Structure 1
């Protein structure tokens, strides 16, 4: 009987002791037990938030810059920030071609708002970044068959002179997805891809972000700054624009894709040299300009001396 009373007193004393622990100690114990639950909930909340953001970006890419979704205009200028950081990660080069045939900027008395990249009819054209297709249209006096895609990084990319458009308006595409085929439609003197990068409807020099000769972007990010843009653009053209005065080198790799390109003055290294024919040029004038004979050009291109050349043709001369 005394043993039972003793045990009862022990439990009562222990319960009293626990109940009299400092509140801070009890609170810390509660927090310790709650921490794993909080971490799990935070992880769940992060995944849910990420999913919501991704869905919103798919529905309205770069909504912080563009306040509407309009399929009427290829480009419509809106308020431009003084500075803006553009994420270039998770990109895909729109074409495997490494040849820039025309630079961004003044050309033939007007502004050329993109880069012309040498492609052939039927060559694969891919989306440069993930985004949403805003326009798929045909403009006979300009872009020809073209596509406009808006991307979450703030850019809109334009792909002109296509032979085929393989996406539809309002379609969500991923970086690297095939969107069209190279062509020569619209105002074009030869098959090529006209590639534009626009921010808030304003054309930016693609060479600031894309290095076609090296098949890469210029960095993880590009920061647009209105006060330094002109100098940046000129330097980008010098580094990554068209090589030489219409002449460029082309090494063909085994699968027929275009390989490395270098300065036209490297002919003494055994590299292949090419000339893009301009309006009014003949075999004779090209031969004089390049310092070779008409017979050599004909031999290299399987032509005869009476052949007529058309603007946009690519002729090997060395």
Structure 2
């Protein structure tokens, strides 16, 4: 009986000690509480760190960088009335990756004439001709700024030159009407002109060129006109091959080898039949 009373007394003492200790831990000095509250208040951010739109400093840096890039693209060799304003005054880079993922078809017509040398006329054809009707809408292939709207009676007829954010320039020839003005910014797919049959043209069509630093590049090297998309999102311009740009278009599989084999097998079968 005495043992049970002693055990109960010890249990009571332990519970009281634990309660006292817990209460002692919860009661902090007033000075400590004030310091703690002050520390938390100083840690509160002045802006929401999870919302990038509130970070004015970062946004300003991005805008400044974009403005500098645009100034470089649209300031150099801008005030020129030539299709190629650069001439030989620029250094052609060894390699340049050009983002063409934004491409929009200027007109949905099929190809009527390819890029390359025309033996019939004894001259180079620096673009691709796309079928359209007079008055059809012609759209900007990429976003950019209109550099030229001009008329050339013995060549392009009424034509537009647009310089794009990706560094390319596109030319749209044989038009009937302009829908834009020089220095106007247009987005990919926006109307810039109406199709026509002006200049040196034998029928209504759009003459379409792609140029980099004034150098004509076969548009078919960049664009799959049959499906209205680019071959890749990035076009790899190479200084070693731009001079042979008329060979940029995808090569078709040759059937000559197959045809020669077929002729040989025919000859063998004929010879066997004679025997």
Same fold (TM over 0.5): yes
Structure with higher Rg: it is: 2
- TM-score w.r.t. the length of structure 1 is 0.60
1:138 correspondence with 2:151: yes
- Structure 1 counterpart of 2:114, from 93, 103, 121: 103
In 1, distance between residues paired with 2:145 and 2:249? 28
Once the 2 structures are TM-superposed, how far is the Cα of residue 18 of structure 1 from its aligned partner?
Answer: 8.4
Measured on the aligned residues, the alpha-carbon RMSD in Å equals: 3.1
Deviation of 1:38 after TM superposition, in Å, equals 4.6
| Change beyond 3 A, Cα 1:169–1:225 | same
In structure 2, list runs of 5 or more residues that go unmatched: 1-26, 253-275
In the alignment, does 2:190 pair up with 1:177?
Answer: yes
Matches within 5 A, 1:3-152: 13=29, 15=31, 33-34=44-45, 37-40=48-51, 43-45=54-56, 46-52=58-64, 60=71, 62-63=73-74, 67-77=76-86, 78-97=90-109, 99-108=110-119, 109-152=122-165
Q: In the superposition, relative to structure 1, how do residues 235 and 203 fare at CA in structure 2: closer, same or farther (>3 Å)? A: closer
Shift of the alpha carbon at 1:90? Answer: 2.0
Relative to structure 1, the CA distance from residue 190 to residue 60 in structure 2 (aligned partners, 3 Å threshold; closer, same or farther) is farther
Provide Cα deviations, 1:145-182, integer angstroms capped at 9, x if missing partner: 00000001010000001111111111111111111111
Distance in 1, matches of 2:248 and 2:83, equals 27
Could you tell me which of 189, 193, 214 is aligned with 2:227? 214
1-side partners of 2:191 and 2:150: how far apart?
Answer: 17
Deviations 1:52-110 (A, max 9, x none): 555566x64725xx62421322212332211111111222110011x212221211322
Gaps of 5+ in 1: 1-9, 240-318
Q: Secondary structure at the match of 1:236?
A: coil
The 1:130/1:80 distance shift into structure 2, 3 A limit, reads same
Structure 1 position 229, deviation (Å) = 4.3
Deviations 1:194-249 (A, max 9, x none): 1001101111111111111111111211111122446775252536xxxxxxxxxx
Q: The residue matched to 1:224 in structure 2 has which SS?
A: strand
**Cα distance change on mapping 1:73 and 1:30 into 2, 3 Å:** farther
